[in-house]
Amino acid sequence: MTPPTPHTTPQPAVVIYSGGMDSYTVLHRAIRQGYDVHALSFHYGQRHARELDVARHVCDELGVSHKVVDIRAIHQLIGNSALTDSDRDMPKADYAADNLADTVVPNRNMILLSLAIGHAVNIDAPICFYGAHGGDHVLYPDCRPAFVDRMNDVAAIANFEAVRIEAPYLHSDKAQILADGLEMGLDYAQTWTCYLGQETACGECGSCRERLNAFASLGMTDPLPYAKP
């Protein structure tokens, strides 16, 4: 990836920013590469809006352009997931294909990327970042390299202006993302990862467990409080 040339007007870039660890790291990486970042967050009917509140706060602190796009009308189309249906039990286990398939939101990343690409074209941004990473490959098809490759093919021809999709951590696990962020001096207390929107993170859902394992693998303690350590 070639960053913008110094001493010129920064190139605009769209960053899909959920408020979680991965997109928080991607957001700062894009900023440090000199892009004029336009962050996009989406309310698509997820169980809680805790991540979105965190995203607003971070972007306000950074002075980054930020839009929270309400697309909850699509919930009736993609609501068959534990992430979007509060009546369903949230799996409490490490990520694995046989026990966390219930957390897959149908076609989510294709939908969000399509909207982000449209926004990129609208503001003349040639690049769109999102936080797919290697740890998601076993469970989420829309976080795999083949998906990113195909979406890039489409993004190159879907409009008069080509947009490149960049997933900088596509081949990295959560611990590698965390290590990169810590090297940048990032404060992960400014993120929210838990699938539940309670006062403190649950410590039991797949997302919490993956996050806690990442900190433990680096010999560190997560700055977020947990209901169950």
Query: Per-residue DSSP letters for 82-146?
Result: TTT-TTSPPP-S---TTT-GGGPPTTHHHHHHHHHHHHHHHTT--EEE----GGGTTT-GGGSHH
pLDDT at 49: 86
Would you say residue 52 lies in a domain?
yes
Question: CATH number, domain at 119?
Answer: 3.40.50.620
Would you say residue 4 lies in a domain?
no
**How many structural domains is the chain composed of?**
1
Q: Please state which of the ranges 86-90, 118-122, 146-150, 177-181 shows the lowest mean pLDDT.
A: 86-90
* Whole-number Å distance between alpha carbons of 98 and 110: 23
Task: State which of 15-24, 38-47, 141-150 shows the largest mean pLDDT.
Answer: 15-24
Q: Which domain holds residue 97?
A: 12-187
Would you say residue 25 lies in a domain?
yes
- The reply to whether 22 sits in an annotated binding site is yes
| Mean per-residue pLDDT, 196-202 | 87
Would you say residue 63 lies in a domain?
yes
- The reply to whether 118 sits in an annotated binding site is no
Would you say residue 55 lies in a domain?
yes
Would you say residue 200 lies in a domain?
no
pLDDT at 100: 53
- The reply to whether 81 sits in an annotated binding site is no
Mean pLDDT (the chain) is 87
pLDDT at 98 over 80: no
- The reply to whether 154 sits in an annotated binding site is no
Q: Please state which of the ranges 46-50, 122-126, 220-224 shows the lowest mean pLDDT.
A: 46-50
Would you say residue 208 lies in a domain?
no
Q: Output the pTM of the full model.
A: 0.88
Would you say residue 82 lies in a domain?
yes
